[in-house]
Amino acid sequence: MAYELYYWPSIQGRGEFVRLALEEGAADYIDVARKSGASKMMKMMEGAGVTTIPYAPPFLKAGKLVIGQSANILLYLGSRHRLAPKPDAGRLWVHQLQLTIADLVKEIHDTHHPVASSLYYEDQKSEAKRYSGHFLKERVPKYLGYFERVIKKSGGPFLTGKKLTYADLSLFQIVSGLRFAFPNATAIAEKKVPNVVGVHDRVIARPRIENYLNSKRRIPFNQNGIFRAYKELDA
């Protein structure tokens, strides 16, 4: 039975971390809201037919299970699609990395929405400028530097060593998104993290990912997602 992925149909957003895992894992899935609109997704979030009500998309229907929170979905998919080790130690380590990526994703979101998600970017531009300055100067080097150290410590070329995991797919998405949103600042930051760039390059060259990125299933980056290209926020 095909998985059902529920996520906003017009953005990559947090759903993209799940899409990349489903694609690399060669999983059979339906991107429900892209196929049939978002109304069923909205009703499920209100509790229709669901015991484990999700707070927000993305969520994944896997048989009888409805699983929310992107990192939690990846925890579920990882060991089932050879995207994470099965033993506890390795599974928890990959999940830990994913949770740190999730923290970074939230900080990236806040570059354009530092005051409130309910306000337009235009209504929080001055705060966004100040926030983004600190983010690019302090946070991007700290996070990417951390992942660089992790890759070195593991022996590489991936985050946890020789085998690709879903955390590598997510790190690819981070690098791609940062390049889209902050091309100048990212070019500078990348110079210090060759192994992180290496993960990006290895992921993008994988046949299933390449196929996906060149398909219509991949929604292009745009100004409604997590990563948004506002020139005034770039270094």
| Residues lying near a second copy in the complex (CB under 8 A) | 47, 51-55, 64-65, 67-69, 71-72, 75-76, 88-89, 92-93, 95-96, 99-100, 102-103, 106, 110, 114-116, 118-119, 127, 130-131, 134-135, 138, 143, 146, 149-150, 153-154
Shortest separation between residue 180's beta carbon and a second copy, angstroms: 23
Closest CB to a second copy among residues 39, 118 = 118
Shortest separation between residue 86's beta carbon and a second copy, angstroms: 13
What are the b/e assignments for 116-149, b being 16+ CB within 10 Å? eeeeebeebeebbeebbeebbeebbbebbeebbe
Closest CB to a second copy among residues 87, 207 = 87
Shortest separation between residue 6's beta carbon and a second copy, angstroms: 14
Closest CB to a second copy among residues 53, 204 = 53
Closest CB to a second copy among residues 18, 219 = 18
Shortest separation between residue 59's beta carbon and a second copy, angstroms: 9
